[in-house]
Structure 1
Amino acid sequence: MKEAMQQKEEFTLDSIPEPTDIENIIYSLMVNPNLSSINYFNDFSEAGISPESIGDGDNDEIGLFDIDSTGTSLAMSTHAFHHHLENDPQKATEILIARAARKMLCLGAQPTAVSAFLYHIDFADPNGQYIASGAKKGLENAAEKFNLKVSDKKIRFDHFSGHGPVPPTIIISMVGVVEDKEKLTTHAFKQKGGNIFLIGRSVEDIGSSEYLEFYHGISDSPLPAFNMEDELRIQAAMRELHKLGLLQSASPVGKGGLFFTLLRAAIPNGLGFDITTDAETRMDSFLFGEAMGRILLEVESEKEDDFVDFMTGKNIPFFTLGHITKGELRIDDNSLGYIDKMTPGV
């Protein structure tokens, strides 16, 4: 690692004042292209994206493909990490693969294989070898932990610097097997009154989040909190929850943190949510932090006791967030209006 990187002053959560106006943060982040309800940059077609198309396709960006007449299908998704890769390439790569596997398991697919491509590595820079070596270790370690086959791994070196500085980027593609498409658990909330749970450990962390970078303008921060062993336990629990039929919907907490994960789950069916935040965690960290190993779940009322018993028996942290509403969004008894306010143009 470069000496300059070793001497870099570390970001601390205490340097960010705890906010009091959550609504202002939400509407400020809504214009972020990575979080917008209508993301024009995620469609390569020339045709404009119609507001009526919001929520079309209920798999939250995972592609599904039939491979035979028995009902078996493949699921595939792509994920990337860019400028934060330089801070800790091994951890960044492990996070990326864990995120992809968690998303597959929320759907009900079994992660099977992964490919990784490392771009914009300057072979003339000694730090390039550090990044490549760390990414390789992260890929191999995560593949072993998650029982994945590595189908391909390549590095693209930058031979010229005429295009200016380009941050190293790793892109991974993951393939999973779906045995029965009729049993898939999608990300969209299904019905008013459903119970909403968050499984996984809530931590004080906003590192590398869209909130920190877009709202506060701080791009130099640690990677999101991540613990491989916690991730493995949570993903194993998800497999059992699917088998027990206890889930109505499931979403990995991702870009934008818990609030935008809730929003992505609410939009497809025009539903809302009424939640209570964790009093022991900073509100901005709880709502907008992007720490790994957390999943948003919808559970029917009649299955709530079975779900709680299962989670308690497995000794896996979980938090009762609240319930699904007909369309209103409420946080700690404060109304943010209705879901149509969060879908510009509708």
Structure 2
Amino acid sequence: MESIESLPTVDTAKKLGLLPEEFDKIQEILGRKPNFTELSIFSVMWSEHCSYKNSIVWLKTLPKDSPRMLAKAGEENAGLVDIGSGLACAFKIESHNHPSALEPYQGAATGVGGINRDIFTMGARPIAQLNSLRFGNINLPRTKWLVKGVVKGIGDYGNAFGIPTVGGEVFFDDCYTVNPLVNAFSAGILKVGKQASAISYGVGNPVFIVGSATGKDGIGGASFASEDISEKSTEKLPAVQVGDPFQEKLLLEATLEIIESGCVIGIQDMGAAGIICSTSEMSAKGEHGMEIDLSKVPTRQANMKPFEILLSESQERMLIVVEQGKEEIAKDIFDKWDLNCEQIGVVTDSKRLRFYQNGELVADVPADDLVLGGGAPVYHREYKEPAYFKKYQEFDINSVKDVEEKDLGKVLNFLMNHPNIASKKWVAQQYDSTIGRANRNTNAPSDAAVVKVHGSDKSIVITVDCNARYVQANPEEGCAIAVAEAARNIVCSGGVPVAITNCLNFGNPYIPEVYWQFVGAIKGMKKACEAFETPVTGGNVSFYNQSSDEGPVFPTPTIGMLGILEQPELKLGLDFKAEGDLIYLVGKSVNDIASSEYLYSYQKVKESPSPAFDLAYEQLVQKAIAQLNIERLLVSAHDLADGGLMVALVESAFPGQLGFDIAATNLSVRNDAFWFGEAQSRVLVSVKPENKDKFEAILNGLKVDSQYLGTVKGADAKINGNVISSIKDAYISYDTALEKIINN
């Protein structure tokens, strides 16, 4: 152990991101001053990224129970939900924001690698990926560099790893210029009862590190993710990990094989905080300890110091506790896949972690005091309503001149060319969406991704959603809308929503106005998840998404939702199918343009409330769509979101290049509200003429509003007898706009 003269001071602790009172608590826990290695251990394990110290009091209020839940929220590498027929789905979403802001290619690539490891560490084979990406001003060279790097990183890693990327979202706003958001989602399938756990127990059981060698990349990554982005952030490039998808593919197969062999006691992915995180969390959960010899850890650089080995976030690594006497089974499996498999320690009954290097004890810490739910600090942060909030609520729709009918085509053209609404084809083409032969949306687009579960008739229906502009305007309502939209996308694709995971991207939690946004978002998520009976299976909190120059990003609680489609024939697409089909708007027309892309970008009004939303009515609308689909009365369904009704109409027209003839006169609301407003709980559907009466009767019985709009007809977008655009011309703009901006 280090001599007393070299022991760290409170200044050292502050440089490592710890508070003075946390330094005092560490000394109290140890009964002495920590050495540098021990202080480094506490600094990463007590960072926001690992300990959730500023968020856990509110996260505990979220609903987490349902008959389908097979793993307690936050206690395993990923959420696990029973999907029936003896099968379960493991799914999770996580952020890799700070690394992607500095080194977009590796930052995004290792985000994909990390989230997939979370899935297969559970014993599930990943079958689909999504991502939610936020960037700043798209006309800036740095933003274009970030977009290109992030998209290429996701594509190169995911394609090489062999898991299809089946959907996602891309959003641009100036607030993300310094601090982009890169949220990665993965889902996998396993048999119920075959899952592995992140736990350690059984005195004398051997502890193995498997996979890649440990290097100096990613050291302090968890701490780096727990501070604001600044000019000095580039000095922390070593905190960005480097990924190898081919190594991860080998690790996937070896991991699933060793779990199937039955010799595994517990297993955990080495993500944030590396070896120290895996050893401490597994030990604390199993109420045991470990003795670890760091000299036995395979390393990529010579003479690595103990803290470097412990804190490294080198990718493609796992910690596995194997049943004593079955060491050779583990070694043979990893030798078969040409991967490292080194025993580095044993399980003890001490409840302490003792780390040695070259025979010398370099750290001795209690496992439980390092982790969430144990001795890690928990804070109740101050929060207060920001001044802007009241100002947003003062918006008056009458202060904006309504759109004349003759200008509908002009507004449509603007929106079709806006990067938030234009096709993300340039992005999607860089991802392999068909590998695995399971993507059911390849030639039949739906609002959510529909992915077949091989060996059954089922499909999982997955989506990632969050309009951060709504959350900025009203965190509670905006986050509830994010949950509602995710559920609506699943229902409009024919699925039944069952559970969510979340990625909570916010600014600095020590700023009361930022923390107010966080608290509001949690409240909104809670009430919406309770309404839709979609418990929270786990997720990720990413604070400190802000810079000294730009301030915080919009509060962005990304919702990843899982749904189930029991029978293939119940799948719904968003596309019009045949001329003569009737087009209806299900839901209320509301005189509202608040927070819409039209108001924000076309009218350039940045301050307005979140759009009109009634949670109880939203539930009714979704119930109606589900019942209509079960009765096989819908030809297509497409929820109204960014760009409102007009954008939904042309998006439904694009796949088959089928036009529409809409008659909408004597409107009860303004033109712009009707065509471009983003009031919630509305779905555009098409229906066969022979099903008209039955369709309307069901809606009337449920007391859900509907409005007949017109028919699928021709090859033009025709409104009240006037052609405002040909579908072909609108599609060309929509299809190529993003690529033109990026490559200009």
Q: Same fold (TM over 0.5)?
A: yes
Q: Which moved more, 1:184-193 or 1:80-89?
A: 80-89
Find the counterpart in structure 1 of residue 495 from structure 2.
109
Residue 14 (str. 1) matches residue 398 (str. 2): yes
Distance between the aligned counterparts of 1:153 and 1:288, measured in 2? Answer: 33
The alpha carbon displacement at 1:30 in A equals 2.0
Residue 261 (str. 1) matches residue 261 (str. 2): no
Find the counterpart in structure 2 of residue 173 from structure 1.
560
CA contact 1:56–1:268 (8 Å) conserved in 2: no
Relative to the length of structure 1, the TM-score reads: 0.91
Distance between the aligned counterparts of 1:150 and 1:160, measured in 2? Answer: 26
1:327 to 715, 736, 740: 715
Distance change >3 Å, CA 195–CA 174, structure 1 → 2: same
Distance between the aligned counterparts of 1:160 and 1:65, measured in 2? Answer: 35
CA contact 1:121–1:155 (8 Å) conserved in 2: no
The alpha carbon displacement at 1:68 in A equals 4.2
Distance change >3 Å, CA 3–CA 316, structure 1 → 2: closer
Aligned positions of 1:190-201 closer than 5 A: 190-201=577-588
Find the counterpart in structure 2 of residue 52 from structure 1.
none
CA contact 2:494–2:565 (8 Å) conserved in 1: yes
1:88 to 458, 470, 474: 474
Distance between the aligned counterparts of 1:108 and 1:214, measured in 2? Answer: 32
Find the counterpart in structure 1 of residue 448 from structure 2.
62
The alpha carbon displacement at 1:124 in A equals 2.2
Find the counterpart in structure 1 of residue 675 from structure 2.
287
Q: Which moved more, 1:272-281 or 1:207-216?
A: 272-281
Residue 27 (str. 1) matches residue 413 (str. 2): yes
Q: Which moved more, 1:7-16 or 1:190-199?
A: 7-16
Aligned positions of 1:27-46 closer than 5 A: 27-36=413-422, 38-40=423-425, 42-43=427-428, 45=430
1:164 to 544, 550, 558: 550
Distance between the aligned counterparts of 2:413 and 2:454, measured in 1? Answer: 45
Find the counterpart in structure 1 of residue 529 from structure 2.
143
Tell me the matched-pair count: 338
Distance change >3 Å, CA 68–CA 44, structure 1 → 2: closer
Find the counterpart in structure 2 of residue 304 from structure 1.
692
2:637 to 250, 254, 270: 250
**Aligned-partner residue type, residue 212 of structure 1:** L
Distance between the aligned counterparts of 2:713 and 2:556, measured in 1? Answer: 40
Distance between the aligned counterparts of 2:548 and 2:515, measured in 1? Answer: 21
**Aligned-partner residue type, residue 602 of structure 2:** Y
- SS of equivalent residue, structure 2 residue 492: helix
CA contact 1:33–1:41 (8 Å) conserved in 2: no
- SS of equivalent residue, structure 1 residue 343: helix
- SS of equivalent residue, structure 1 residue 65: strand
Find the counterpart in structure 1 of residue 727 from structure 2.
339
Find the counterpart in structure 1 of residue 387 from structure 2.
4
Distance between the aligned counterparts of 2:542 and 2:614, measured in 1? Answer: 29
Q: Which moved more, 1:69-78 or 1:128-137?
A: 128-137
The alpha carbon displacement at 1:61 in A equals 5.3
**Aligned-partner residue type, residue 39 of structure 1:** K
Distance change >3 Å, CA 326–CA 246, structure 1 → 2: same
Residue 206 (str. 1) matches residue 593 (str. 2): yes
Deviations 1:102-159 (A, max 9, x none): 1111111001111112113212211122112111111111111001121114321218
- Structure ID, larger Rg: 2
Relative to the length of structure 2, the TM-score reads: 0.44
Distance between the aligned counterparts of 1:243 and 1:156, measured in 2? Answer: 39
**Aligned-partner residue type, residue 77 of structure 1:** T
Distance between the aligned counterparts of 1:330 and 1:34, measured in 2? Answer: 24
The alpha carbon displacement at 1:162 in A equals 4.3
Residue 71 (str. 1) matches residue 457 (str. 2): yes
- SS of equivalent residue, structure 2 residue 547: coil
Distance change >3 Å, CA 130–CA 336, structure 1 → 2: same
Find the counterpart in structure 1 of residue 66 from structure 2.
none
- SS of equivalent residue, structure 1 residue 344: helix
Distance between the aligned counterparts of 2:545 and 2:425, measured in 1? Answer: 32
Distance change >3 Å, CA 132–CA 160, structure 1 → 2: closer
Distance change >3 Å, CA 275–CA 159, structure 1 → 2: closer
Q: Which moved more, 1:254-263 or 1:65-74?
A: 65-74
Deviations 1:162-182 (A, max 9, x none): 463222211110010011123
The alpha carbon displacement at 1:243 in A equals 1.4
CA contact 2:500–2:559 (8 Å) conserved in 1: yes
Q: Which moved more, 1:3-12 or 1:97-106?
A: 3-12
CA contact 2:637–2:686 (8 Å) conserved in 1: yes
The alpha carbon displacement at 1:326 in A equals 2.4
Deviations 1:204-249 (A, max 9, x none): 0011111111111112111110001110111111121111111111
CA contact 1:277–1:286 (8 Å) conserved in 2: no
CA contact 2:446–2:492 (8 Å) conserved in 1: no
Matched-pair identity in %: 30
**Aligned-partner residue type, residue 45 of structure 1:** Q
**Aligned-partner residue type, residue 473 of structure 2:** N
Distance between the aligned counterparts of 2:659 and 2:413, measured in 1? Answer: 16
Distance between the aligned counterparts of 2:540 and 2:661, measured in 1? Answer: 46
